[in-house]
Amino acid sequence: MTEITEVPSPFCGIGTDDLAIQVDGNSLKVTKNGCTVNISAFGQPIVEISPRIDGKEASLDEAVIKAAELLNDANQPVFGGCATDVSGMRALMALADRNGAVVDNIGFNAAKRNFLAMQDSGWMNTTLAEIKNRCDLLLVIGIDLEAFAPRFFERYIWNDEAMFLDDTSSRSIVYLGKVPSGKASTSPKKMKAKVFECSDDDLPQVLTALRTLVKGRPLAAEEVGGIVLKDLQKIADQLNKASYGVVVWGAGALNFPHAELTVQTLCEIVKDVNELGTRCSGFPLGGKEGDQTANQVCGWQTGYPARMRFSSSFPEYDPFLFDSQKMLDNGEADVLLWVHAFNSKAVPPKIDVPLIVLGRSGMKFENEPDVFIPVGTPGIDHAGHAYRLDNVVAIRLKKLRDSGLPSTFEVLTAIEQALQEK
C-alpha cells in the first residue's frame, strides 16, 4: 500500500492538486483534501479489464478490428461523450478526421450557451489565482456554487492570505438566482452571503434589469422577478465600487431556452463595469471530466469547439445541427462511438444503431454495446493532461496505479490504424 501526494484531479474542474491518495492494488482512496466529487470519482472500482464484443469477452485486437469495421461501414459516424485527456482527444480527432465523423462533447449543450455568447460579442474573464488574490466581490449568478465545486470557497475565497486583500474574510459574496445549499460561502468570521433568490425563468429579466442599473439608467419598476429594485441597485452599486468584482456563472445550471442571451447579458454587465471605470471579470464554471479539454484540443486542431464534423472532409461547425443526440433521434447517424474515460456512470444514450463504447471500467448498459472497450482513466491509470475550468491552465495528471487498462489514445490510435488498412 502506498500513498501518493499532490495528486491533481481531472474530475472537479477547479484543478485541485493537493489530494493524497492511498493506493492498494487497484483500489484508490482519497485520504486528504477530498470532496464529494473527488472521493467518489477516484474511488470508482475497476470491474472489468477485458473488452467485449456483443457481450462476450474478446481480446483488445479483436475489439479494435470490430470497431474499425463498424466505423468503416457507416455513412455518418457520430463520436459522442468525447470525455478524455489531451492525448485521447488528439487520437479521437485523428480518427474522426479519417472517418468523416461528427465530434460532439457531452457537455456541449451547456458549453454552447457560452460559445454562442462569446462568438457573438466576446467577454472579459479571469482565472482562479486572480480570484484568490484580488476578488473583493463575488457575484454568483444562477448556480449553487458549492454543489458544483465543494472546495471552491475553501481554496480560492477563504484562503488565509491574499496578495492584495488585507483580510480575505471581508470579501462580499452575493448570490443572485439560486440559494446556496450549504455554508461554504459563509466567511470564517461568520458573515453570510447575501442571497437574492429568483427562478431560472426570471433570471433573464433580472439580469437585464441589473445591467440597466449598472449603467445608471432609469427603470420604472418596483421589483423584478420577485427581487425588489433597491436590492438590485445595491448589487449594481457594489459592482461599480468593487476593486475587482468577479461574476460567476455556470452554463450547465442555466437550463432554459436561449440561455446564451442570459450569458451574454452578464458578460456585457462585466464589460459595462470596466467601461464605467473599475475592474470586473467574468468567471464561467465548467471543466469537469474533460469538457474544457475537448474544446481546447478540438479548437487548436480545427479552429472550432467540440461540436463539429468532418463529414465533408474538412471541419465544419454548427452548435445546433451537430448535436449528436438530435442526430441520433432524427436517424441522421448510423453508428455511435461513445468515449468517456472519466466516469462509469456517464453511459451512452439508448440508441438503435451500432454502438462502440470506450468507457471507464464498470459501465452498466441498458443495451449491451456492439463493442465495449474499458479504458484507463487519465490521472489514475495513466499520465496525461486535462484543462481546468478557467481554460488557461492545463494540469499534468499522474499515473497512480498499474491496472493494465489501455489509454483512450492507445485504443483510438489502434482503431485508426485498423481503419487505414481497410
Partner 1 sequence: MLKKLTGGIVYDPANGVNGKQKDIYIKDGRIIKKPAKDAKIDKEYNIKGKVVMAGAIDLHTHIGGGKGNIARMLMPENHRTDAVAHTDLTRAGCGHAMPSTFLTGYRYAEMGYTAAFEPAVLPINARQAHMEMGDVPILDKGGYVLMGSDDYLLRMMTAKKDQQAINDYVAWTIRAAQGVGIKVVNAGGINAFKFNQRKLDLDEQNQYYNVTPREILKTLATAVKELGIKHPLHVHGSNLGVPGNIETTLNSIKGVEGLPMHLTHVQFHSYGTEGDFKFSSGAAQIAEAVNNNKNISVDVGQIMFGQTVTASGDNMRQYANHGFASPNKWVCMDIECDAGCGLVPFKYRDQNFVNALQWAIGLEIFLLVDDPWRIFLTTDHPNGAPFSSYPHLIRLLMDKSFRNDMLATLHPQAQKMTTLASIDREYSLEEIAILTRAGAAKITGLVGRGGLADGDFADITVYTENQDREKMFSKPVYVFKDGELVARHGKIVKVTWGTTHVTRPEYDKSVEKDLEKYFNQYMTMKIGNFTISDDEITEDGRGSITVHPTVGGKV
Reported as type and span, the H/E element at residue 97 is helix 86-99
Q: CA neighbours within 13 Å on the CB side: how many for 343?
A: 21
Does position 62 bind partner 1 by CB under 8 A?
Answer: no
- Of 154, 161, 109, give the one whose Cα is nearest residue 134: 161
Q: Considering beta carbons, is residue 131 or 355 the nearer one to partner 1?
A: 131
Q: How big is the chain, counted in residues? A: 422
Kindly state the smallest distance separating residue 224's Cβ from partner 1, in Å: 28
Task: Annotate each residue in 277-306 with x if it binds partner 1 (CB under 8 A) or - if it does not, as one string.
Answer: xxx-x-------------xx--xxxxxxx-
**Residue 154 binds partner 1, judged by CB under 8 A:** no
Closest CA to 419 of 90, 89, 72, 96: 72
Helix (H, G, I), strand (E, B) or coil at 169: helix
Give the burial class of 161: count Cβ atoms within 10 A of its Cβ; 0-12 exposed, 13-18 middle, 19 or more buried: exposed
Please identify which residue in 62, 72, 123, 211 interacts with partner 1, judged by CB under 8 A: 123
Q: How far is the CB of 6 from partner 1 (least distance, A)?
A: 5
Tell me which residues in 356-395 interact with partner 1 (CB under 8 A). 383, 385, 391-395
Q: Please identify which residue in 22, 50, 76, 133 interacts with partner 1, judged by CB under 8 A.
A: 133
Q: Which is nearer to partner 1, 163 or 220 (CB)?
A: 163
Asked if 115 touches partner 1 (CB under 8 A), the answer is: yes
Q: In the complex with partner 1, which residue's Cβ is closer, 46 or 412?
A: 412
| x-marked contacts with partner 1 along 80-99 as a string, rule CB under 8 A | ------xx--x---x--xx-
Q: 340: left (phi > 0), else alpha (psi -120 to 50), else beta?
A: beta
164-223 residues in contact with partner 1 (CB under 8 A) are 164
Choose the stretch contacting partner 1; rule: CB under 8 A; options: 197-205, 250-258, 311-319, 330-338: 311-319
- Cell 433580472 belongs to residue: 206
**Would you count residue 314 as binding partner 1 (CB under 8 A)?**
yes
Cα(first)–Cα(last) distance of the chain, in Å?
46
Question: Which residue in the set 10, 107, 315, 374 belongs to the binding site for partner 1 (CB under 8 A)?
Answer: 315
- The footprint of partner 1 on residues 218-277 (CB under 8 A) is 243-244, 274, 277
Q: What are phi and psi of 234, to 5 degrees?
A: -65, -45
Provide the 8-state DSSP code for 187: -
CB of 348 to partner 1, least distance (A): 26
Subset of residues 11 to 50 that bind partner 1, contact rule: CB under 8 A: 15, 17-18
* Closest of 76, 146, 143 to residue 110, by C-alpha: 143
Q: Which is nearer to partner 1, 158 or 196 (CB)?
A: 158
By the 8 A CB rule, do 159 and 129 touch? no
Which CB atom, from 293 or from 344, has the smaller least distance to partner 1? 293
DSSP summary character for residue 393: P
Task: Please state the closest distance from residue 327 (CB atom) to partner 1, in A.
Answer: 19
Residues sharing a CB contact under 8 Å with residue 69, sequence separation 6 or more, in sequence order: 422
- Between 206 and 242, CB nearer to partner 1: 242
**Shortest spacing between CB 392 and partner 1, in angstroms:** 5
Q: Does 120 bind partner 1 (CB under 8 A)?
A: yes
Neighbouring residues of 95: CB distance < 8 A, sequence distance ≥ 6:
71, 79, 101, 412, 413, 415, 416, 419
C-alpha cell at 169: 474574510
User: How many residues at the interface with partner 1, by CB under 8 A?
Assistant: 66
* From candidates 317, 346, 365, 368, binder to partner 1 by CB under 8 A: 317
| Contact call for residue 321 and partner 1 (CB under 8 A) | no
What is the rounded CA–CA span in Å between residue 83 and residue 10? 11
Q: Do residues 390 and 285 make contact, with C-beta atoms less than 8 angstroms apart?
A: no
User: How is residue 164 written as a grid cell?
Assistant: 492584495
Cβ of 368: how many Cβ atoms within 10 Å?
A: 14
List residues binding partner 1 (CB under 8 A).
6, 8, 15, 17-18, 86-87, 90, 94, 97-98, 115, 118-130, 132-134, 155-156, 160-164, 243-244, 274, 277-279, 281, 295-296, 299-305, 310, 312-317, 383, 385, 391-396
